[in-house]
Each structure stands twice: as structure tokens, then as C-alpha cells.
Amino acid sequence: MNLLSAPMRWHTLVFTGALLLASCAGSDGTSTASESENETSAKAQRIAAMKQVTDQHSFARPEEARITHLDWNARVDFDARTISGTATYDIEVAEDAQRIVFDTHELAIKEVLVDGEPVEHTLGAAQPFIGQPLTVPITPATKKVAIKYTSSPGADALLWVEAQGDKPPFLFTQSQAILARTWIPVQDSPGIRFSYDADVEVPKGMMALMSAENPTETNADGRYSFRMAQPIPAYLLALAAGEVEFRSVGERCAVYAVPELIDKAAYEFAEMEQLLLAAEELYGRYAWDRYDLLILPAAFPFGGMENPRLTFATPTIIAGDRSLVALVAHELAHSWSGNLVTNSTWDDFWLNEGFTVYFEQRIMEAVYGRETSEMLATLSYQGLVDEVDAISDLNPDDTHLKLHLAGRNPDDGMTAIAYDKGYFFLRLMEETVGRERFDEWLNGYFEAYAFKGMDTERFVEYLNSTLLADDADKAAVRIEDWIYGPGLPSNCPSVSSPRFERVDATLAAWGAGDLSTADLPWEEWIYQERYRFLSNLADDTPTERMAELDAAWGIGSTGNNEVLFAWMEQAIRSNYTPTYPRVESFLIEVGRRKFLTPLYRAMKETGQMEMALDIYGKARGGYHSVATGTMDELLDWKG
Ligand SMILES: [Zn+2]
């Protein structure tokens, strides 16, 4: 996912095939003796791996019984706001297994069948955040479990975007971190992987899309079939339904968007294939066949979500000049870090996101040059320092890379720590051992752990026996300080951007009155420089000077939402009221949490709570649950 701090962030395979082959062999009854021995040992290894880590956010007990494949039959009902269907799982069981446990959250379970026969199931007590365990009795011989169910109209993963004027309705899911269980009963733990097939019915006129092989045209009957051959964890299950069109932008890349955005999207993301090639050049073959992008309604709570084969993205990255493609680089990088090698639990989230920010930076450097990627790194550093300050006051343990989220919402771990502290840790290792060695090591890491889970402790062991086997390198990096220690260690790599230094000097001169507004080089600046200037304006900038900037630059009408956002935040902090109507319309239209949180917080911190609550009251119904969860708390919303 893509996140909060720097202007862009938030959501494979060197495919060895070993895991898939292992789970398929034998099911057709043709495996030879040695294949079945291999299969048995592969199964033993997988079960041993499952026993190594405990996921505090899932009821599943994969060491007893785990899912390996899903057959999903479902119908999407926009009127009732429900998804009804049957989830049929192939399962793998331990020798003494007596039950299999699934995660559910506010699902109505209608019936459970084990190998075709109805059985009594048990739904345990609901617990905060994690929902209810669904326990199904099985035997060691059980092959399939089918669950008939309906989701609740308030399911947290789903956002039912209402029709507005001539805009038809839209549905999308956001399953990460633990919301898949609100729309499908599943073993919702990132360490458990399964392949899937699906048959989905949506209203006529809509196209359905999943994190799978996708259609390219709308079917007359609203019925669609999907196949995801590579095993994925539940948080990468995704579904969208709406009136969208398909447009190819490369051999393996395409965009999906509503008709009014499809041309703009095709132009904006025309360079996707180049990013994909650059990524493969760095860290090995792309393992998911196609890489497509779905532009969602503006209510989408994140920048992007790395759903395999089909990244879900906010339309706020369509700037008209391809300036915000770093988000695509981020989501694409997840095809390796996250989707291929996956954090075993949400305490290990930095293994997904820190690697992805590092990889994103390398793609940006390869395609757009070091000067651009260093500007991004500088923004990342600035965001990280601010976040460390903010979190250290509240809960210093949350500044460790390895988190402690038991009993909490894993969403609490989605801070700049996992992303940017993770990034600087990897950058430190790169700078310590040299880029060539580091890249070779990272290639090996992705290959060795493709389609597997990884937890922090095993990662540290791996690191100590491979890249940092040398004592001098170990001493230089100080792994423990970074992973299990607070704040930002003193050996954090330094970044500098001469272009930002010039922006800072220009801002200082302007602030001191030594430079007139007319002499500011706005037209020469790229968006990162504009963002830097606006986001570093002093809170007490007089409104007359804000008005000068506004008149000179017409920022309120920029197509770049990062620049607009930086301006609006400053406008709120400087009490520059002419921008307030734009703030309100933006907050009602856009549901991206990275923008919402600082804007509402700015109102709160400057004594403008009345305005914040007024706007939030109008906008809240259009936001996704992950955004309302954060804003309700920030604004102490009582409804
Ligand atoms: Zn991400």
C-alpha cells in the first residue's frame, strides 16, 4: 500500500513453481512414489514453517489445517449492499487434524459442507478488530470445505460508491490488512497462501475485476470468471465492479477506468511498461504475467493497493503530466516485496513496505534519474523525522521496525516507520556493502523466498548468514538498533538534494522579504520543488502574502493533487479563507487518507474544529472504513 508521509506512497515472482506443483501433485492420482515422497516432505516443511510464527490477528491454525485453493461463487447485490456466495476450499490437513478454523467478521454463515455433506459449525465470540472464528469439524481425510454465506451491508472492506448524477455506482474492496474476512470466510493471515478460481455475477452493464486474470470487455449478462494460478495471501483478494473500460498501454500493461477518465489514464500511465522492464532489470522476472492498473473512484482510501495483476489506484495521481507515477513504481515493486515474499504477520509489515520503498526508489532512479529519486528520498526523510517525533511522544515502541500489534488494529502499524525507516535501513546496507553486492543479495532473497512468508527473526538470521556475514559490516549496520530499537539510529544515511536546498534558500529569502513573489521561479520548478516550497511555508505566513502566491500561481486550479494538498494545508494553518471552499469540495470528493488526515488535523490544531466537523459530517458517508476509522478518532466523532 501507499501511505502517509512523503508525497507518494501506499500497496512476482521469480516463479519457482515449487509450491504450486507440490499442492497439485497427487490430486490427480498419478504421482509416482518419489513425487509423493517429495510432496510429503514439502508438506512437512510448510507445516513446520507455519509453526514458527503466530499471527495474533488470525484465528486460523494452519499447523492443523490450511486452505490451498479457493473456488468462489458469488453474487454482488448493489441494492442490499451484500455479497452472497459459496467459498469452497481445498485443504491440507495434519495427520491428527479434527477441525479447520476460518476468520470471519460480521458474515452470516448459512451452511457448511465437508466433502459435500452438511456439518455443524461453530461461530465463536466476536473479538475487537479480528472478528469471529468459524470452526468446522474435519478428519485427516477431508479434502474440501464449502461455506455458504452473505456479507453484511456495513462490511469494512467494501465501499459501495453511490450513483451521482450521471455517474453510475461502483463497488471496490480493500482487504489489507485484515478486512478480507468481512467479505469472504477465509484463513486471513498473510502467511497462508492459496490459488483461486471465481465466478462472479454483478449487475448488467458493469464489469467485474479481481486480483486475477481479468476480462477486457463488459459482458451482456454480468457474469465473469476469474483465475489466479499463483498462490496469494487473503489480504490480496480483491474485487471491483463498475462501468469501466479497458485500454492497453503496453505488451503486458493496461489501464481500466470509467469512460470519462480512460483517455487521461492511458496518457498518464503510458510509461508503465518501462517501469516494469526497469523493475525486472533490477530484481528478476515479473512473476504475475500481466501488470494492469484500475483507476478507482476518488473515495479510495489509499494511493494504491498492490492487488496482484491489477493494482487498485486513486484517481488523484492523474496529474495530466505523468508527474505522480512514483506511486505506480511503488505498487509495481510490491509484485516482488510483499506479493512474492510476504510478511508473515502484521508485526513484520516493514518487510513488505520498507523493501518496497527501497525498490520504488531504485525504479525511479533507473527511469527518471538519480536527481529525481534523491528528491523523493529527501521528502521521505523529512516525513520520517516528523513521524518519529509524533510517534515517540505517544508510543515509542511503535518506532521499532518490528512491531507489537497484538490486541490492536494492524492499521496502527501503517506509519512512516515501516515505509521510510525500513527504506533507510536497506539503503544503509546498500551503502555499507556496495550496490553491486546488495543487488545480488536482494535478487537471491526474492528468489529463495518466492511465494513464502517471512518474519523479522528469520530475516535477521538470513541477513546475518548472507549479506552481513562479515563482522565489520555487521558492526557498521547495527541491525538490532534499527529493528528492535526506537527512533532513527545515528548511522542513518544522509540524503541531500541540491535542488531542494535552492528551494529552501529561495523560501527563506521570500519569507524575509528579500525576494518578491514575482521573482519566485514557480514555472521552472517541477512538482516536487513546488511541494517543498508550499509545505515548508511558515504557519504565520500573512494572508496578504498567501493571496500574492494564490494570484501569481493559481494553485487552486492545479491538476497536481500533491501541490494542491500542500497548498490547502498551509491555507488552513495560515487562516487563508479564500481557499476554504476548495478545501471543502476536495474533502467531500476525495477519500484518500493521506490527504484527509493532515487537512483535518490542521483544522483541529488551529482551533477550527467547527469547520472540521461540519465538513466531515457532509463527507463521512462517502469515505471507506479505513478512513473513517482514523478520522473518527482524530476528530472525536460521535456521529
Ligand atoms: Zn506499499
Taking the centre of ligand 1 as the mean of its atom positions, its distance from the CA of residue 230, in whole angstroms, is 20
Taking the centre of ligand 1 as the mean of its atom positions, its distance from the CA of residue 429, in whole angstroms, is 20
pLDDT at position 45: 66
pLDDT at position 52: 62
Burial class (CB in 10 A: 0-12, 13-18, 19+), 29: exposed
pLDDT tens digits for range 134-161: 999 999 999 999 999 999 999 999 999 9
pLDDT at position 5: 39
pLDDT at position 28: 33
Taking the centre of ligand 1 as the mean of its atom positions, its distance from the CA of residue 381, in whole angstroms, is 17
Taking the centre of ligand 1 as the mean of its atom positions, its distance from the CA of residue 356, in whole angstroms, is 6
Tell me the β-bridge partners of 73: 86, 199
419 is annotated as an active-site residue: yes
Q: What is the mean pLDDT of residues 4-18?
A: 32
pLDDT tens digits for range 147-201: 999 999 999 999 999 998 888 999 999 999 999 999 999 999 999 999 999 999 9
Taking the centre of ligand 1 as the mean of its atom positions, its distance from the CA of residue 349, in whole angstroms, is 10
Q: What is the mean pLDDT of residues 400-404?
A: 97
For residue 147, which of 105, 196, 198, 184 has the smallest C-alpha distance?
184
Taking the centre of ligand 1 as the mean of its atom positions, its distance from the CA of residue 249, in whole angstroms, is 23
Query: What is the three-state SS of 393-445?
Result: HHCHHHHCCCCCCCCCCHHHHCCHHHHHHHHHHHHHHHHHHCHHHHHHHHHHH
* 8 Å CB contact between 619 and 588: yes
Taking 90 as the threshold, does the pLDDT of residue 19 lie above it?
A: no
Taking 80 as the threshold, does the pLDDT of residue 521 lie above it?
A: yes
pLDDT at position 226: 98
- For the chain, the straight-line distance linking the first and the last C-alpha, in angstroms and rounded, comes to 29
Q: Percentage of the chain surpassing pLDDT 90? A: 89
Taking the centre of ligand 1 as the mean of its atom positions, its distance from the CA of residue 293, in whole angstroms, is 15
Phi, psi of 527 (to 5 degrees): -60, -35
Taking the centre of ligand 1 as the mean of its atom positions, its distance from the CA of residue 306, in whole angstroms, is 7
* 8 Å CB contact between 460 and 451: no
Taking the centre of ligand 1 as the mean of its atom positions, its distance from the CA of residue 197, in whole angstroms, is 26
Tell me the β-bridge partners of 113: 118, 146
Q: What residues does the ion ligand 1 have nearby, CB within 5 Å? A: 1, 11, 353, 356
pLDDT at position 18: 31
pLDDT tens digits for range 567-584: 999 999 999 999 999 999
Measured distance CA(360)–CA(328) in Å, rounded: 9
Comparing 6-20, 279-293, 338-352, which segment has the lowest mean pLDDT?
A: 6-20
Which of these is catalytic: 92, 201, 271, 331? 331
pLDDT at position 42: 67
Measured distance CA(399)–CA(389) in Å, rounded: 9
Taking the centre of ligand 1 as the mean of its atom positions, its distance from the CA of residue 522, in whole angstroms, is 31
Phi, psi of 470 (to 5 degrees): -75, 130
Which of these is catalytic: 149, 196, 419, 576? 419
Taking 80 as the threshold, does the pLDDT of residue 544 lie above it?
A: yes
For residue 288, which of 184, 381, 205, 210 has the smallest C-alpha distance?
210
Which residues fall within 8 angstroms of residue 333, CB to CB, at 6 or more apart?
279, 355, 356, 359, 360, 363
Taking the centre of ligand 1 as the mean of its atom positions, its distance from the CA of residue 334, in whole angstroms, is 7
Taking 60 as the threshold, does the pLDDT of residue 27 lie above it?
A: no
Give the three cell numbers for residue 477.
549496520
Q: What is the mean pLDDT of residues 478-500?
A: 97
Q: Percentage of the chain surpassing pLDDT 70? A: 92
Rounded to the nearest integer, the mean pLDDT of the chain is: 93
Q: Which long-range contacts (CB under 8 A, 24 or more apart) does 38-44 make?
A: 42/18, 43/92
pLDDT band at 37 (very low <50, low <70, confident <90, very high): low
Q: For the stretch 355-379, what's the b/e string if a residue is b when 16 or more beta carbons lie within 10 angstroms of its beta carbon?
A: bbbbbbbbbbbbbbeeebbbbbbbb
pLDDT tens digits for range 64-121: 999 999 999 999 999 999 999 999 999 999 999 999 999 999 999 999 999 999 999 9
pLDDT at position 556: 78
Q: What is the DSSP string of 140-195?
A: TT--EEEEEEE--TT-TTEEEEPPBTTBPPEEEE--TTTTGGGTS-B---TT-EEE
Taking the centre of ligand 1 as the mean of its atom positions, its distance from the CA of residue 521, in whole angstroms, is 33
331 is annotated as an active-site residue: yes
pLDDT at position 46: 59
Taking the centre of ligand 1 as the mean of its atom positions, its distance from the CA of residue 593, in whole angstroms, is 14
Taking the centre of ligand 1 as the mean of its atom positions, its distance from the CA of residue 37, in whole angstroms, is 39
Cis, peptide link before residue 551, omega less than 30° from 0: no
Taking the centre of ligand 1 as the mean of its atom positions, its distance from the CA of residue 611, in whole angstroms, is 32
pLDDT at position 551: 94
Taking the centre of ligand 1 as the mean of its atom positions, its distance from the CA of residue 361, in whole angstroms, is 12
pLDDT at position 489: 98
pLDDT at position 23: 30
pLDDT at position 420: 98
Taking the centre of ligand 1 as the mean of its atom positions, its distance from the CA of residue 531, in whole angstroms, is 21
Measured distance CA(430)–CA(477) in Å, rounded: 10
